[in-house]
Amino acid sequence: MAIEELAMFRKDVSTYIKQYDFLSQLFAYEDPWLEKLAIYLKHLAPQLTDRVPKDPIDLSTVQLDYIGQHEKDTTHGKLTAGVEPQPAKEAQRHPPAGESDPHPPGCSGC
């Protein structure tokens, strides 16, 4: 059942792209969301294949030895009533409390 639903979705994507391309030549759409959806679907369509895996992938024997998790840049902000928001400044990386930063100054994660 899922394979048929995926095939129908792939056809719907193709139909939307074709119809949008044709009708956008005739009408000036007021809603930019429709154009954004068409652009997104144009990039998504080549990734949607009708290829079905022959054999299921068995992950029962896979054992994870290590999972790496790296902190990305963070920033903290407060909203105050009546104050106009300002653009965010570049976030600075701060090591967790009690730890020193292993990277030299000016390094953005090496």
pTM for the model stands at 0.45
Question: Which residues, 6+ apart, have CB-to-CB distance to 52 below 8 Å?
Answer: 3
pLDDT confidence tier of residue 78, bands split at 50, 70 and 90? confident
> Using CB atoms within 10 A of its CB, is residue 37 exposed (0-12), middle (13-18) or buried (19+)?
middle
Closest by CA position to 45, among listed 84, 11, 80: 11
pLDDT confidence tier of residue 97, bands split at 50, 70 and 90? low
Tokens linked to 24: 């956008």
Question: How high is the pLDDT of residue 109?
Answer: 53
pLDDT at 104 over 80: no
pLDDT at 47 over 80: yes
Question: How high is the pLDDT of residue 37?
Answer: 93
